[in-house]
Structure formats: C-alpha cells, structure tokens
Amino acid sequence: MNKPYLTGHYTPVTDEVTATSLVVEGTLPAELTGRLLRASHNPKPGVVPTHWFKGSGMVHGIRLRDGNAEWYRNRWVRTPALDGAPYITEQGPDFRVSTAGTHVIEHGGRLLALCESALPYELTPELDTIGAYDFGGRLHSSMTAHPKENPVTGELHFFASSPFPPFLTHHVVGADGALVQSQEIPGASAALKHDFAITEHHVVFLEGSVTFDPTEHSGIPYAWSDAQRCRIGVLPQGDGGAAEVRWFDIEAGFGMHFANAYEDVLGRIVIEGVTVDRDGWQRSWNWWVGAPGRGAEPVAGSTGRRWVVDPGAGTAREERTDDLNVEFPTINETRLGRVHRYQYALAFPDDQGIGNHTLVKYDRATGERWLRPVGVGQLPSEAVFVGAADAVDEDHGYLLTVVSDLISDESRLLVLDARDLTATPVATVHLPRRVPAMIHGSWIPDPN
C-alpha cells in the first residue's frame, strides 16, 4: 500500500535547489520585504516513515525584496533523525533527534525549526543547519512546535509536553531570546498537547481525548481514549502562576490547532480553534499512518469550536462555530491574545459540496464567511497574514499561501488581498518546482 503522505500533494522532493530571479505576475507590495519560510515532512529518497509526523523536516523559503522575488530555496534540517538515529535511547529520549518538520519561526534574532518532541534547530538565513539550540543550556526538555509571541511584550511562550512526569512544563523567553522562566504545571496528565493559547494575562492549555498509549507502534505513541478526562487549564502569567492553575472540564474531543484566545469584557476566557470527534480522529490517524479506513485528506471531520471559560462561575461551555471541514486556523497576529475580528482557515474537500480545497475567511462580528476555492488539483498552504504598511483595519493586509498544483506539476506563491478573498491576486510568484504540501510557517520581515 502506498503511504498517503508520500503521494500526490505530499510527494517528497528528492533534492535541494536554489533558484533566483523568480517570475512575478502583478505587483509585490513594497512592505513584503522579508522571507516566507515553511516547514514540511520530507523523508530522504527510499525512506518510508511509519507515520507522517516521523518524516524528516525540510524548510522551504521565498525571499521577497523591493518588489522582486529574489530566491526560492529548500533545505533539509540536518538533525540526527535525518540519518536514522533513534529518538529513544537507553538513557531516555534524545532531544537532539528532531524531525524539525512542523514549524519554523524567528525570535530573538534566531531562526528555529521545530517539532514538539525535541529541541529546536537553529538555521542560517539561507536555511543551512547550525545545530540543536537549548537557549544557552537552560532548556532540558522538548519545545512545542507552536510557541506564541506576545505582540506587546515580545515574550515567547512555549511548553514541553511528555507522556511521563513532568507531563507539562511552561517556559517563557524574553524579547532578547533569553529563557527567563520554566515551571512545571500541576494537575496535568499524559494527554496529547500539540497547541495552546495565550491571552493578555493567562496561558491556556487544552487536554482532549487523545492520550499516551504504549500499544501504538507507529512511533507516535498516542491514541483516542474515552476514559481520558478532557479539560482546559488556565494558568496566570508571571512568577508563581503554576500554583494557581485551574482546570475546567469540557466535552470529549481533540483540538489540534487554536486560532486565538482572549479575555472578554466580562472577564471570561474565550478560546477559538478546531476540534475532531472520535471518528474524525481515527480517520485522520489512519491517514497519518497509512492504515485502512482513513479519510481522503490528512484531516477528517475537523470543525470550528469556541470554548468560553468563566473563572468566577467555575464553568466552561463549548459551541460549534462552523460546519466546514477546516484546519490550520490563523489570524492577524498583532491581535494574538486579544479580541480579534477576522480569522482564516483552509477547508478540505468533504461531502458538503465544496469540491476542492478552499481558503476561508470568517468575520466574527457579523458571522459572515467568504470562500476562495483554488481549483481541482490545487492545495494551498496555511494562510499567513501580513499587514499593509498603511493598515487602518485588522484585515488590511495580505494573505500569503503556497499552492501545490498537481495538474501542471508546479507551485506558486499567491499574495491575496485579505479584505477580499475573491479578488484577483495582488501578485503571483512562480516557483521553480512543485513544492510538497507543508505544515506551518512564518513571514519574517527584514529588520527596520
């Protein structure tokens, strides 16, 4: 059986290339001066990983400046995992053995490729590997692939999750890149925690129905458990916050990614993201491992959710916010941790008549949504928002997405007007090859 994550849009590339002076249709806005970097799982030729997430990491980059697309390049992240080194040793997990294929960020002047079970890997601006990075010897655990940067303070929050005690550790890195706080979170369990959220004053963790299962032999030892207690943990930011963490019970389910969280005018904590039920999780998992009974896409039955935690009443409630099969929710990250109006996501084909992969924009104030299908055989990446230089509104800016085109066997970067998804692209950058479907990434502007 062909593994689904090695075919179609997910077919790995077999080499590293550098191409310069890329063809641009339309006009690239002057404020798009920087690099769009994206991570993918891309095992070397001949290697068939036992799970999609076990594929070695590769970072793809597109350099834009002064209205030009100066280069595209792709590079494997050269960790011991690329050459088959084991993650589990007689001494326990080796945090240097990273796939580094989930996300890539910049903080404190360092470019970091991430996967949640290992240390981050530092890269050069040209995407060559420098090595594992442990924040000057202060980080002794893994680092989530979904850190959150406070847009006001510049602090970077992240966590380490483990199937064994300590189950959850929260870390804070200052705007200068120095690790300044680490604290174990009491009451946490072995439940899988892939993403989390921050508000202005809190850190928010979600424990869903997926937890450690030693009988799962794909290399990712987690499975759905009806017995797992599902909860939201609310941690006050600052020194000593761990002792004040509170846990609130929620319905069964699993949330892979969260768009944002914030405190409303009543002091309640609102978390928005996507979640799956038991059937959706199992069909997605079967795709990830290449087992029968899988969905046609890597996510199945993933729909929008909102959780509202009322600390005063000691309650949490949940509501479904949309019926589309969506994933990879994003926002204008200047609103991270604060109330946001607009949200973006990628809708996957399902039985509701969409027909092909579609970018979605939501207006939380009016309840409206707008769809931009990209066409049969086309798969866009997670949409990254970049604000316009003269932005006056939250959605005044651009959405950047890399489209994998199976029909023409090529890829292109679309620069879309975030205010109007249906408009002609502001610009299209033609890439020198078809770029495999990717996971997460970042827009990294040049320093002012």
Reply yes or no on whether the pLDDT at 1 is more than 70: no
pLDDT cut 70: percent of the chain above it: 98
Reply yes or no on whether the pLDDT at 352 is more than 60: no
196-211 pLDDT per residue, tens: 999 999 999 999 999 9
Mean pLDDT of 137-157: 97
Categorize the per-residue pLDDT at 47 as very low, low, confident or very high, splitting at 50, 70 and 90: very high
Q: What is the mean pLDDT of the chain?
A: 96
Mean pLDDT of 425-443: 96
* Residue 23 and residue 71 in contact, taking contact as beta carbons nearer than 8 Å: no
Reply yes or no on whether the pLDDT at 350 is more than 90: no
Q: Which residue has the tokens 């945090």?
A: 95
Q: In Å, how far are 125, 156, 189, 244, 247 from 162, measured between CA atoms? A: 31, 20, 9, 21, 18
Tokens in use for 350? 């399902």
Categorize the per-residue pLDDT at 355 as very low, low, confident or very high, splitting at 50, 70 and 90: low
CA–CA distance, 50 with 56 (Å, rounded to integer): 12
Which residues, listed in sequence order, are joined to residue 128 by a DSSP beta bridge? none
* Residue 289 and residue 218 in contact, taking contact as beta carbons nearer than 8 Å: yes
Mean pLDDT of 263-281: 97
* Residue 195 and residue 208 in contact, taking contact as beta carbons nearer than 8 Å: no
CA–CA distance, 137 with 83 (Å, rounded to integer): 25
CA–CA distance, 43 with 35 (Å, rounded to integer): 24
Categorize the per-residue pLDDT at 356 as very low, low, confident or very high, splitting at 50, 70 and 90: confident
Question: Any binding-site annotation on 60?
Answer: no
Q: Which residue ranges form the domains of the chain, and what is each CATH number?
A: 4-445 (2.130.10)
Question: How do strand 397-405 and strand 410-417 relate by DSSP bridges?
Answer: antiparallel
Q: If you ran DSSP here, which 8-state letter would residue 249 be given?
A: E
Distance from chain centroid for Cα 446 = 22
Q: If you ran DSSP here, which 8-state letter would residue 395 be given?
A: T
Which residues, listed in sequence order, are joined to residue 220 by a DSSP beta bridge? none
Categorize the per-residue pLDDT at 48 as very low, low, confident or very high, splitting at 50, 70 and 90: very high
CA–CA distance, 76 with 101 (Å, rounded to integer): 9
Query: SS3 of 288, please?
Result: helix
* Residue 232 and residue 271 in contact, taking contact as beta carbons nearer than 8 Å: yes
CA–CA distance, 51 with 216 (Å, rounded to integer): 11
Question: Any binding-site annotation on 170?
Answer: no
Mean pLDDT of 419-438: 96
What is residue 332's predicted lDDT score, i.e. its pLDDT?
A: 98
Reply yes or no on whether the pLDDT at 97 is more than 80: yes
- Per-residue b or e along 70-97, where b marks 16 or more CB atoms closer than 10 Å to that residue's CB: ebbbbbbbbbebbeeeebeeeeebbbbb
237-265 pLDDT per residue, tens: 988 789 999 999 999 999 999 999 999 99
Question: Any binding-site annotation on 194?
Answer: yes
Categorize the per-residue pLDDT at 353 as very low, low, confident or very high, splitting at 50, 70 and 90: very low
Reply yes or no on whether the pLDDT at 354 is more than 70: no
* Residues contacting residue 324 through CB under 8 Å, at least 6 positions apart: 303, 304, 345, 347, 350, 352, 354, 360
Mean pLDDT of 332-360: 86
What is residue 402's predicted lDDT score, i.e. its pLDDT?
A: 98
Mean pLDDT of 15-23: 98
* Edge-to-edge strands, sheet with 121-123: 103-107, 110-114, 121-123, 129-132
* Residue 392 and residue 332 in contact, taking contact as beta carbons nearer than 8 Å: no
